[in-house]
Amino acid sequence: MMVRLVALLGIVLVGQTPPPKSTAGDPLFSARHLACSFPVYAAPVWKDGAAQVVSRAQDFTFDIDAINTKKNSAQIVGKGGASAHASTIVTPIGINIIEATPIGNLNVTTVFVAGGPEGKYIAVHSRHIGDPASAPSPSQNYGTCTIVK
């Protein structure tokens, strides 16, 4: 019985590294709702199979709501209110939110515990978008998230 309990505990904890003591008490790790804004993005333009990266300003926001790091879940909520289920992984550097789209693309957002201006957390949102019939259209978006009380 004890061996099963230890094995089950090991399975549950895989990938769940607790934050270091210096950041463990940071409000980010107990936040249930984040508002995120990404005013800059970078994306490739494909020429003969080689990526040439362009960067532009944008108005791109979404919320990460219903964050539950014990159940490894969250909801991504867009401007129009559409939402998608996502998974969470807590690491010493912050919270990672991973969304798998219905056709198999991945969107990954990392909200970093360190480095942001007061009250804001630096965040990077990466989209890994592709389809079987055309060149992929990945992008990386840069900005910040704030805790919504």
Q: Tell me the pLDDT tens digit for each residue of 43-82.
A: 999 999 899 999 999 999 999 999 999 999 999 999 888 9
* 80 domain residue, yes or no: yes
Q: Is 1 helix (H, G, I), strand (E, B) or coil?
A: coil
How many structural domains is the chain composed of?
1
CATH code for position 110: 2.40.128
Structural domain contains residue 104: yes
Q: Is residue 135 part of a domain?
A: yes
What is the pLDDT averaged over residues 110-126?
Answer: 96
Of 141 and 22, the one with more pLDDT: 141
Q: Which of 22-36, 38-52, 103-117, 121-135 shows the lowest per-residue confidence on average (mean pLDDT)?
A: 22-36
DSSP string computed for 4-40: HHHHHHHHHHTT-PPPPTTTTT-GGGG-S-EEEEEEE
Strands (DSSP E) contained in 79-138 are 83-91, 94-100, 106-112, 121-128
5 assigned to some structural domain = no
pLDDT digits (tens, 9 = 90+) for 19-32: 445 566 899 999 99
Q: Which domain holds residue 103?
A: 18-147
Residue 58 lies in a domain: yes
Residue 107 CA to residue 16 CA, distance in Å, equals 20
